[in-house]
Amino acid sequence: MAPLLWPLGAIILFYALRYIYIPKPLPGIPYNRLSYFMPWGDLLSLGISFFARGEVFRWFNTRSHHHRSHIFQVFIPSFSTSSPVLVVTDPAEVRDIVTRRLSSIDRSRLMALWFGFLAPGASIGMPSGGSFRALRWVWNSMLSPVFLGNVTGPRIRDTALSLVELWSLKSGTQQCSPLEACGDLRLSTLEAMMGLLLGRELGMLETEISDLKRAEDGEKLWPWRRGRPEAQPRHFYRDFSLTLTCLDWVTQGVSPTVYSWVFRHLFWPFQRAQKNVEASLQRVVNDARQKLGGEEKAASYPISALELVLERATLRPQTEEIVSDAALRSEVIELLITGHETTASSIGWALKYLADDQTVQERLHEEMLRFLPESAITPTSEQIMTTHLPYLDAFIEETLRYSCTGPISFREATQDCTVLGHRIPSRTPIVLMTQDVTHREATYLEQNLKSAPSHLASTNTPKNGSDTVPPLNQFYPERWLNTNGGFDPKAVFSLPFSAGLKGCFGSKIAMMEMRIFLAVLVWNFRFAKLDAGLSGYGSLDGLTRKPSCCYALPIPRRGRVTDGINMSRTRLPPLCEDVLAK
């Protein structure tokens, strides 16, 4: 009798867990019946896709093709145990939801749970309400044309020139061997975001450049000498990277709540890293407040977004809460994370496309030679941003479309609503696929759903590219050019930054970063085609969809690199001083 108790207990436990973790499906919407009867739902299938190929976003698109429907439901206990997760892949419906239906479908509480781990007061986790709009009003000042032209552009160009210098040194020391590009790109975009947000210099690129120059001179760099003050940027970057790694675990783990608790209370390296990062940021906030209240305020234009935000907040006394020290640190951390990860991933994909298609690369370079000033010196940020470069615009848009760096948006029904003809109850988690990672031309939307408002009003929406040549699964920047050779931003349906009030806040800055970085890199380097083993297109999905294999072989263009990097660059105060926890 006793041996029978074990299998009986296992069966009871199995069905008890299934009852707890798997909610009832929504009627009329496709789902995987086998997953519905398992206590882990679709989590096992999703996990296999991640551990086998490093991909998560593609899994949602392949499920859509499997069900032959633009709307389906999945059972993911880590997202929700009270309701199945609704997935919508129809482009017109996604656009309608993010632009017109914010009152009934808002940003998911899951975003607050994830980003609240590092930035509890950040706008990315806020519902659409008074606090969110007040916070956006204050921070919108960093998107003004004056700030973008006077501060953001020059900061990005200075960082891009530092990357050019770093890669020119590496190209000489590695004797034409491919270099791993993603790490340097993440450093560069983080440096740029530090400069425009805080008016401070992290110094990681300069430290790398200094080490390479010392090595060229034959100086041996002992580990304990690497850095008296130079080591501090490494310490900050190490701590910041550790917090991002922990955030990846929280977003991809089985239980975000459990992972957050473990890291906050039991994992002392994270506690130390978070303390160091917040101490560095708090020092910058204190300096900005001191400058705002001192004689320097009227003497110069703010050199950072933080100073501009504090200055604008004085216009509305009721905004004191959203510019508290904790709120400012949270928003800065959120912007640092989202601002450098997404852009670095997109530029990494762009370099792969340039190397694999030399025709595209040469056409891009020829356009820059034709329209930018004839000089060996790298063009200024103002020249890059104001010059008409249609093929560069087309290349950037095609890179964003084809790479699908951020193809997903998490939403939640805040009241009963209708999606593609189906009644969706309140508090249902919704995953919107703003881009199709598989690049398939799916036309299997059921006929009875084409009467949905989004499809009735879709005559003025951009076409989805189904009638373009070549097909969407091919990288082809020319699809964004009209018959006159001009750039047409509506040539193909694409939502790389989502849209609407809850779309990407920093999309303007991201586009500036991509335009300036790519212009500076292509102006100074030719990227050689790599062997098949180093030019794969696998992805590693986390906060963004980044290339799992990102190598580049930058070959300096004669007479360009030396002149470009010898130009004077604005030096900012260092971010890191003796504030790191011992």
Whole-angstrom Cα distance, residue 342 to residue 451?
A: 36
* 168, containing H or E segment: helix 153-173
Strand pairing report for 71-74 and 429-433: unpaired
**550, two tokens:** 């990102």
Q: Among candidates 155, 66, 41, which has minimal Cα distance to 385?
A: 155
Q: Among candidates 513, 430, 468, 448, which has minimal Cα distance to 84?
A: 430
* 105, containing H or E segment: strand 105-107
504 known member of a binding site: yes
Q: What is the DSSP string of 14-31?
A: HHHHHHHH-PPPPTTS--
For residues 550, 555, 560 and 564, what is the CA-based torsion angle, rounded to 10 degrees? 30
The count of other CB atoms within 10 Å of the CB of residue 46 is 21
Q: Are 348 and 550 in contact (CB under 8 A)?
A: yes
In sequence order, the 6+-apart residues with CB closer than 8 A to the CB of 148 are 508, 509, 512
Whole-angstrom Cα distance, residue 426 to residue 49?
A: 30
In sequence order, the 6+-apart residues with CB closer than 8 A to the CB of 233 are 202, 203, 204, 207, 574, 575, 576
Within 13 A of 242's CA, how many CA atoms are on the CB side?
19
- 389-402 in b/e burial notation, b at 16+ Cβ within 10 A? bbbbbbbbbbbbbb
Cis before residue 470, ω within 30 degrees of 0? yes
Backbone angles phi, psi at 538, to 5 degrees: -70, 155
Whole-angstrom Cα distance, residue 78 to residue 83?
A: 11
Backbone angles phi, psi at 447, to 5 degrees: -60, -35
Whole-angstrom Cα distance, residue 446 to residue 444?
A: 6
Q: Are 527 and 557 in contact (CB under 8 A)?
A: no
Q: Among candidates 226, 283, 327, which has minimal Cα distance to 574?
A: 283
Q: Are 310 and 296 in contact (CB under 8 A)?
A: no
Q: Among candidates 283, 159, 170, which has minimal Cα distance to 580?
A: 283
Q: Are 457 and 97 in contact (CB under 8 A)?
A: no
Question: Binding-site residues for heme, please?
Answer: 504
